[in-house]
Structure 1
Amino acid sequence: MESKNPVFARSKEWKNNGYATFDAPSSAQRQAPPADASARTLEDWYQKPSATPAQSRRMTLDDVVVRTASLFAVLLVGAALAWFGDLKLLPAIGAALVAMVLGLWAQMSKKVRPGVMFAYAAFEGLFVGAISHAYASFYDGIVGQAVIGTLGAFAGMLIAYKTGIVRNSPRFTKILMIAGIGYLVFALANLAFSLLGGTNVYSIGGLGILVSAFGVVLASLFLVLDFDYIEQGIKNGLPVKESWRAGFGLMVTLVWLYLEILRLISILRGDN
């Protein structure tokens, strides 16, 4: 199945039929020239340099874990700088906008770009650190609660996925993508409306709780897509460089989930 995750969808390798599987012919067989090739073609073929070990090695789960951890390490450094540097709201919003542009670049590029992903993690970390510090100034201990909630949701969705309670399918993906786009449009419209002096939907008692809880559930379900795409990528024998794309996609979803949980807890603990 072709990936619908925007992080993975730009890469042909994330299709089941887009790259060699573990049952595919060996590299030597794949590199053999056709029998009717001309003498010039044969000469050009054999003069090409052999693939390096890094180019021919296939992605593993360990590779994804290491790349995800390295991206999170940069994000945490950025968050710590914003937290202890008391980064104000306007610069934090600027960092978020820069991160959004970098994230779109990383997602839309057919080439895997670890440098862009690290830059995204740094700027997104500044925003996450600043917004976390702002919430913490009103609600003591809320950041720790949000982190525990994020880890709990991640573990719960992973168990549900591995045990088959929740599985990906074309219909599941379609519904989730429609819901995700709708929620994004709503969030942007609500932000614009509130900046113009209107009422923030998240501050309307029970309605705010329901909408925020929907965001948490939606972000949690997107983890299922991430798990499935990573599993399919490993089964398809993707090159190790694609583990950067896998780690980046997982980091984006987890940061989104953390921010949704942070907001939900703040609503439950009192009006913003």
Structure 2
Amino acid sequence: MANPVFNNSPVFQDPSARKGNGTTAAPESTIDAVTLEKMYGSPSATARQTGRLTYDDVIMKTGGLLALLVVVAAGSWAVTPQLPWLYWVGAIAGLVLGMVNAFRREPSPALIIAYTVAEGVFVGGISYLFQNWAVPGTVDGTAQPIVLQAVVATIATFAAALFLFRSGKVRVTPKFTKWVLISLVGYVVFSLLNLVLSFFMSSDGFGPLRNGVWGLLAGLFAVGLAAACLIMDFDSIKRGVEKGAPAKFAWSAAFGLIVTLVWLYLEFLRLFAMLSRN
């Protein structure tokens, strides 16, 4: 093997290539026939027993993080009337922790949990503000329950994306991946431009490029893009399981799913707010 990484590791070395006189006597077998038969007849080790990534690990980690996010978001919702600036703290902390986790080679459960808490603070606060500021009819109690609508729509989209992926109707091909990446770059540029223009042009509260029909179309495009990213997340998790990745990377998989789900929820929240205004 020419790769020095394999050459320097005893795990991958060829026993006949060890240093010395170049020859190694074959060890005599000390295992009798009965013991050998028992070894062949014993059940093979599961992925969990060998420390490899499993779907159960990803489901458990993702479910736990989602539960934590919901609990923190509920608390943030309750205190937002007294601390309306708190969601900004969650947004900034979530952005920083998200970048740190995204560029780490090894997953850190503590940092991923901290990110989830920060996102919970942000999601709870922004949801309260959308429900009580962006939606008409809040004062007289006739406002549309856009938060509940966004939650239901997020769950439904997640289920639909998983079904399409599992059924093979949507496959992550190089062409699909290229389209998603180009669309993501375009959407980021669009969002930044909308943010900059909001300081100089009037709008309905979502930026001048989000006004009227164009805003609704942009919202629908963003929802579709987030759903496509979910399918790519599923494909990445599948490849990790099939390649026998270490079990600790279940944290990375759960982190990636949380990021996409929060984005999808926020897009639905904004979309339903715009629909209620129109």
TM-score, normalised on structure 2? 0.77
Is the CA contact (8 Å cut-off) linking 2:146 and 2:269 kept in structure 1? yes
Shift of 1:54: 7.8
Deviations 1:43-80 (A, max 9, x none): xxxxxxxxxx9894111111000111121122122211
1:82 aligns with 2:109: no
Matched with 2:44 is none
Provide closer, same or farther for how the CA distance between residues 89 and 198 of structure 1 changes in structure 2, counting only shifts above 3 A.
farther
Q: How many residues align?
A: 230
Is the CA contact (8 Å cut-off) linking 2:226 and 2:263 kept in structure 1? yes
Provide closer, same or farther for how the CA distance between residues 220 and 186 of structure 1 changes in structure 2, counting only shifts above 3 A.
same
Distance 2:49 2:127 in 1: 40
1:225 aligns with 2:232: yes
Look up the SS of the partner of 1:35 in the other structure.
Answer: helix
Is the CA contact (8 Å cut-off) linking 1:59 and 1:234 kept in structure 2? yes
1:69 aligns with 2:63: yes
What is the one-letter code of the residue matched to 1:85?
A: V
Look up the SS of the partner of 2:148 in the other structure.
Answer: helix
What is the one-letter code of the residue matched to 2:100?
A: W
Matched with 1:103 is 98
Point out where structure 2 has 5 or more consecutive residues left out of the alignment.
Answer: 1-9, 21-46, 136-142
What is the one-letter code of the residue matched to 1:34?
A: P
TM-score, normalised on structure 1? 0.78
Q: Decide which of 51, 54, 77 is 1:60's aligned counterpart.
A: 54
Matched with 1:160 is 164
* CA radius of gyration, larger in: 2
Point out where structure 1 has 5 or more consecutive residues left out of the alignment.
Answer: 1-28, 40-52
Matched with 1:23 is none
Shift of 1:130: 0.6
Distance 2:78 2:86 in 1: 14
What is the one-letter code of the residue matched to 1:73?
A: A
What is the one-letter code of the residue matched to 1:204?
A: N
Distance 1:170 1:143 in 2: 36
Aligned pairs for 1:1-272 within 5 A: 30=11, 34-38=15-19, 56-86=50-80, 88-137=83-132, 138=135, 139-199=143-203, 200-201=207-208, 203-270=210-277
Q: Which has the higher contact order (CA 8 A, sep 6+)?
A: 1
Distance 1:221 1:85 in 2: 34
Look up the SS of the partner of 1:241 in the other structure.
Answer: helix
Is the CA contact (8 Å cut-off) linking 2:58 and 2:250 kept in structure 1? yes
Q: Cα RMSD over matched residues? A: 2.2
Provide closer, same or farther for how the CA distance between residues 54 and 161 of structure 1 changes in structure 2, counting only shifts above 3 A.
closer
Is the CA contact (8 Å cut-off) linking 2:144 and 2:276 kept in structure 1? no
